A = this chain, B = another copy of it.
Amino acid sequence: MSRIRYGGDYNPEQWPEEVWAEDRVLMRRAGVNLVTVGVFSWAELEPREGEYEFAWLDRVLDGLHEAGVRVDLATATASPPPWLSARHPEMLPVTAEGVRLHPGSRQQYCPSSPVYREHAARLVRAIAERYGSHPALELWHVNNEYGCHVSHCYCDVSAEAFRRWLVRGYGTVEELNRAWGTAFWSQRYGGFEEVWPPRAAPTFRNPTQLIDFDRFSSDELLDLHRAEVAILREATPDVPITTNFMGFFKPTDYWRWAEHVDLVSNDSYPDPADPRSPALSAMSQDLMRSLAGGRPWLLMEQASSAVNWRAVNAPKRPGQMRAWSLQAVARGADGILFFQWRQSVAGAEKFHSGLVPHAGTDTRVWREVEALGAELAGLSDVVGEAPRARVAIVLDWDSWWALEQEATPASLLYPNLLFAWYRPFFDRSLLVDFARAGADLSAYDLVVVPAMHVASPAAIAALDAYVRQGGRLLVTFQTAILDPDLHVQPGGYLGALRETLGVRVEEFAPLAAPELPGAEPPVVALAGSGLDGSTATQWTEYVHVADAEAVAMFAEGDVAGWPALTRRTLGEGKAWYVATLPDEAGRDALVATLLAEAGIEVARGARPGREVLERAGRRFAIDHAACTVEVEPASRR
């Protein structure tokens, strides 16, 4: 594990065997040392129920081993073969509207289906037995992108599983009735058997039912993962295990998942046409390092150039693949892998770029692939050591699920709020860790909590402790509005954080546009320390200061004169509260103030558009507009 892994998904079953030999030659030329095999091979490995055809895969793995390429071997359960649903149509997933999803694409299984589970387990066992001691095996790749197309299933089988999950969580239906608040709208259940997944309904569905179904759906997928892990562990206790995450992916609570992988890995497809992409991919990379507990991780999938699933798919610009790959390395990646090795000539992803493009090796893409392989080989010394962040942003899936429900104060998008606060740090080349709600934050000099809508007592206690131990905390509007049952704590919003922040919120005043065609929401000016000249966006509210100072005020509208930004000093600690989303300039000014207070300096040479990062004695200076990267020893700074 002392070289940066380089390679990608390898699907040789798409090609005649004569191509495999060329593949191995080209892999060596490109410096490929790890490929992921078998992700979509179930139908090839088990073409008829219970009849396995492993010979072809034997030849693939043997050939790779001879070529010195190691294997991330998939359990092949990501997409069941057509014969399975032909025999057991009840294992096909169903939408909230009752539409049964059919074969013809991929991932057509109900996560709760015993049929799917039994057949998948049998396949994993067979693969683990056959290849557990293969010399090419480096890593197990469980399933693939869990939940990316079917994260929630509403079928009758899922309904039963959901009920069992509720019984485990609530014990009695009375407790469920209390937690779900079923006294309202005549929803009181007489027994668990009366409960349904939140299928299509006349109007807004019960919020706690919805979030419990989100939690159940994440858990149910995690169960699938854990069942495979158990089989693999038993067969090969020493082979590490991963499953590929998808960055900020709403349906799966990766905090819970990360405990069940040995190596965190990520699939990342930023849009080459979008100027925000470097910042967005940095945010995704920082999340992976955080999920890995500050340890390195793998970039499991990216594209060599264009993807195929946007309305218009821009290719990567010359140099952009290298720039984004080195950005990942600088932020902790120990591997740079791609989907997929050889671009398909048929099927739904044939217009997704590959390391070997349709046009062959006399191409810009291939030349960049070869060059990157060589360059990564020279960066082996970074492997195993991840860079450290001094800033953390709290990320919480419950809050994501709750904030984006129907019937909330405003249609806020949680990742947009995270990104709004991530961006000023990115523009200064400052690493940011994402922290789990309730985690110990003492390692950080600065912590930001954007819209942590749902807050458990433990989550609040952790923030309070952090400040009281001298930390610098910025909490934004829509934090700690709900408890984990999605109940409001009466008495002024912010719950127990009122103590920490010294403020309470009387009422929300989100910035609403009138219901007219094309109407835009109003903009409210801000006034006060550092925020003069900037404006409030999306949100305002009525905040009472109890034991804090009002640092900036709303300057217009009904909220004129009410605090927009407050600060409470608790010994060395400082607890800030911001009652709006200041515009970009405002956020930038506020972050500048917070960084100065925290004594965090910007890396020399860093500026917006020019990222300067260090890892293990290497300094990476990335110019995103020019798609260039200078890699130097860090001592030269």
Instruction: Give A contacts to B, CB under 8 Å.
Output: 11, 13-14, 40-44, 47-48, 76, 78-83, 86, 93, 95, 97-108, 148-150, 180-190, 193-196, 198-209, 271-276, 305-306, 308-315, 317-318, 343-351, 357-360, 363-365, 406-411, 485-493, 504-516, 521, 542, 558
| Bound CA span A107–B185, Å | 9
Ranked 3 nearest A-B pairs via Cβ: A181-B346, A149-B202, A184-B347
Q: What is the CA–CA distance of A53 and B272 in the complex, to the nearest angstrom?
A: 63
Residue in contact with A201 in the complex, picked from B104, B275, B312, B344, CB distance below 8 Å: B104
Chain B residues in 8 Å Cβ range of A271: 512, 514-515
* CB pair B86 A194 closer than 8 Å: yes
Contact check: which of B11, B364, B410 meets A313 at CB < 8 Å?
B410
Residue of B nearest to A504 (CB): B359
Q: In the bound complex, how far is the Cα of B352 from the Cα of A207, in angstroms?
A: 14
Contact B407 A308 (CB under 8 A): yes
CA distance A411 to B308 in the complex (A): 10
Chain B nearest CB, measured from A172 CB (Å):
14
For A308, give its contact among B201, B312, B409 (CB under 8 Å): B409
A-B contact pairs, 22 of them (CB 8 A): A14-B184, A40-B186, A41-B186, A43-B182, A47-B188, A76-B186, A78-B186, A81-B186, A83-B194, A95-B200, A104-B206, A206-B348, A271-B512, A273-B514, A274-B514, A310-B515, A311-B411, A351-B408, A357-B507, A358-B488, A363-B506, A364-B506
Beyond A14-B181, A315-B507, A407-B349, whether A202 also contacts B360 by CB under 8 A is no
Q: Other than A93-B202, A101-B199, give 15 A-B pairs with Cβ distance below 8 A.
A: A81-B190, A97-B99, A105-B206, A108-B201, A148-B203, A150-B202, A182-B347, A208-B346, A308-B408, A312-B411, A313-B508, A346-B486, A351-B407, A359-B490, A360-B490
Complex contacts, A485 vs chain B, CB 8 Å: 346
**Inter-subunit contact B507/A359 (CB<8 Å):** yes
B346 adjacent to A180 (CB under 8 Å): yes
Contact between A488 and B308, CB atoms less than 8 A apart:
no
CA distance A100 to B97 in the complex (A): 8
A178 CB to nearest chain B CB (Å): 9
Q: By the criterion CB–CB under 8 Å, are B363 and A184 in contact?
A: no
Contacts A203-B106, A348-B407 given; does A190 touch B507 at CB 8 Å: no
Partner of A203, one of B107, B208, B490: B107
Question: Do A196 and B493 have beta carbons less than 8 Å apart?
Answer: no
Distance of A595 Cα from B97 Cα, bound (Å): 53
- Kindly identify which residue among B318, B409, B515 contacts A274, using a CB–CB cutoff of 8 Å: B515
Q: B residues within 8 A CB of A41?
A: 186
A276 and chain B: residue at smallest CB distance: B514
Say whether A106 contacts B185, CB under 8 Å: yes
Query: B317 touching A347 by the CB < 8 A rule?
Result: no
**Interfacial chain B residues near A273, Cβ < 8 Å:** 512-515
Do B199 and A104 touch (CB < 8 A)?
yes
Which residue of the partner chain, among B13, B48, B310, B357, contacts A512 with CB atoms under 8 Å?
B310
State whether B346 touches A204 (Cβ < 8 A).
no
Q: Are B507 and A187 within 8 A (Cβ)?
A: no
Query: With the chains together, A425 CA to B506 CA distance in Å?
Result: 38
**Which B residue's beta carbon lies closest to that of A407?**
B308
Contacts of A185 in B (CB 8 A): 40, 79, 105-106, 347-349
